[in-house]
Chain A
Amino acid sequence: MKTLKSLSALALTGALTLSAAAVSAETIKIGVSYPTPTHAWAAGMNWHAEQAEKRLEALYPDIDLILINSPDPNAQASALEDLVSVHKIDALVVLPFESEPLTDPVLNVKKTGALITVVDRGLSQPGIEDIYVAGNNPELGRVSAVYMKGRLKSGDNIVVLRGIPTIIDNERFDAFMAEMEGTGINILDHKHANWNRDDGFEVMQDFLSRFPDIDAVWAQDDDIAIGVVAALKQAGRDGDGMFVVGGAGMKETIKAIMDGNTLVPVDVLYPPSMIATAMDVTVAAFKSNGPVAGRYILGATLITQENAASFYFPDSPF
């Protein structure tokens, strides 16, 4: 009895797989895999991915985008296996949780003949991906430095709040310091505020107690900048031309820039919408008559009051 049941179950799954294969002969299936949003930036990415799915599927009826998010690298590796075995994907857009543990799983997807698009975090072996879409971390540091040195003069003092100690943070910080070199602007100190509002608030409070004369703050990130602004206002040191430069492109920050905020007058873009760019390029690989394979490094645009409106998405969680 038991064997019969499992046999019929097997037959059923077989039939299902067959029919799935038959369908996939007509539609182009693209798997999109990224980490489960646990912080605001990733939630913004999730929102932009869903928007792009709706838009692209409405535009091309024969394109089927399958969005999967995973809570950890292991789950993401399993998700990639499922995308191949269950959905028989023709292309994969992946933002790897971590480079090292996901290199092999992505390589396995590539072996099935699928087109591979990697977003933001590179894999640890070169040449696996056909398309690479990423933000530009060193450029974010450099653009911030160019803006700040444009507004400051030699002898002015700034403090720097850094993110979580990672490669991303180092790239941004090193490029910032390189651009600042030789300007005569003193970088009093730099501490990690972990891309977190509370840490930004506390580190800035301590900087304010420690240094009586600060002219500007590079907070590197919009969340940190919110904490920094609260600390500046608490200490009553938000006047006298003091300004804070964040980064990423949080909607509240961009709205404030549109409204002419002087304390946080600009923002440097590191857009969560890059996943949508990656999905567009991947679809173009099937639909465009031009070649699309290659590396797409997005600009770290300086967002000012003039151009802010084009980076403002009021419905996104970020």
Chain B
Amino acid sequence: MSDVTAETTPKDKRMRFDIKTAGPAIALTLLCIIGFLLNPAFLSEGNLTNLLTRSAFIGIIAVGATFVITAGGIDLSVGSMAAAIAGVMIIIMNAAMETMGPGLATVLLGGGCSILLGLGAGWINGVLTTKGKIEAFIVTLGTMGIYRSLVTYFADGGTLSLDFAIRGTYRPVYYGSVLGLPAPVWVFIAVSICGWLLMNRTAFGRYCTAIGSNESVARYSAIKVDRIKTLTYVIQGLCVSLATIIYVPRLGSASASTGVMWELEAIAAVIIGGTVLKGGYGRIGGTILGALILTTIGNILNFTDLISNYLNGTMQGLIIIIAVWLQRGDWGKAKASKS
């Protein structure tokens, strides 16, 4: 609440906004400096490309999660959804191999199915939350379990593998690059720009913020709350399917261990970026930085043997908390602005 009320005083607003904008950027810069000091190879072109490409999965999903969280919802099912969509895509493409051959048509069919599945899965989450009047946490906890067990079932407990002939056609979607940047990074950039415009320059974005701040007031203001909330889950589903489309060609396989914990990483990226977990305030730009921070932590830990492998989780936890503290911390002048 304090964030929303604070924005009513113009002077306060500017102060807080600065810190919020700078927080994730400061954290990321610090991380990059630490990475470089530990090992200059950290800033090599190859490693930076790896980092950006790797961030694309969580980043794209987190852009969708920013809408869901801003509108006061939460989606725990994204990791399982990605695994299930990847599994179904592989099954469809392998089956289409026989009639359509390993060409572009088969890959496009797989991609198309992925998008339909993503939209559908998001719509189910949305409708169960709004029309079904079940808490988003419970709905998506349920679908998380369902999708995870579905991919286990499809794979017979093992691993679904894409036919090698199709991999040849599909491979450039992950490994190819345009103008020196890998394809997944371009997708990430496109999704980020669309997300930023949608959040900051459209009525839809303002409605999300309004619903997240106060659903009843939004309803009385003639906002179609149920429709907007459902749409946020559909956008989330679309983002998951895009992330899956670029994930599948990487290793050409899906199993029960695909996308484990992606939901938490996506939510962490959103919160590190400055979006408020209880809704009402969302920042796409911050989310993107958040996703980069999360990937960078893992990357730096692989670049050094100073820290015991067993403490990786501790380092990640500490950096996440510090990154959020950088923007939420009251910096000594809190009492006046806290309502």
Contacts and interface: CB of A to CB of B under 8 A. Distances in A.
Interface string A30-60: 0000000111101110100000000000000
Contacts of A189: 305
Please report whether the interface of chain A is mostly helix, strand, loop or mixed according to DSSP.
helix
Contact of B50 (A46, A165, A196, A206): A206
A317 interface: yes
Contacts of B158: 40, 43-44, 317-318
Contacts of A318: 158
Contact of B302 (A37, A39, A40, A207): A207
A3 B305 CA distance: 70
Given A198-B251, A317-B158, A192 B309 contact: yes
B54 A202 contact: yes
A40 B309 contact: no
Interface stretch (A150-158, A226-234, A299-307): A226-234
Given A209-B41, A227-B251, A39 B257 contact: yes
Interface string B27-59: 000000000000101101011001000100000
Contacts of B256: 38-39
B129 interface: no
Nearest to A38: B256
B126 to A, nearest CB: 28
Contacts, number: 81
A209 B255 contact: no
B161 interface: yes
B112 interface: no
Given A192-B309, A210-B303, A234-B175, A226 B253 contact: yes
Contacts of A44: 158
Given A38-B256, A39-B257, A230 B309 contact: no
Interface string B282-321: 0000000000000000110011010001101000000000
Given A202-B298, A227-B251, A37 B309 contact: no
B309 A46 contact: no
Query: Considering the complex of A and B, which 5 residue pairs feature the smallest CB-CB distances, nearest first?
Result: A43-B157, A317-B158, A206-B302, A37-B157, A209-B47
12 contacts: A38-B152, A39-B157, A39-B256, A40-B159, A197-B255, A197-B257, A198-B257, A201-B251, A202-B298, A205-B54, A209-B44, A210-B41
Given A209-B46, A317-B158, 6 more contacts: A43-B157, A198-B258, A205-B54, A206-B302, A207-B302, A210-B302
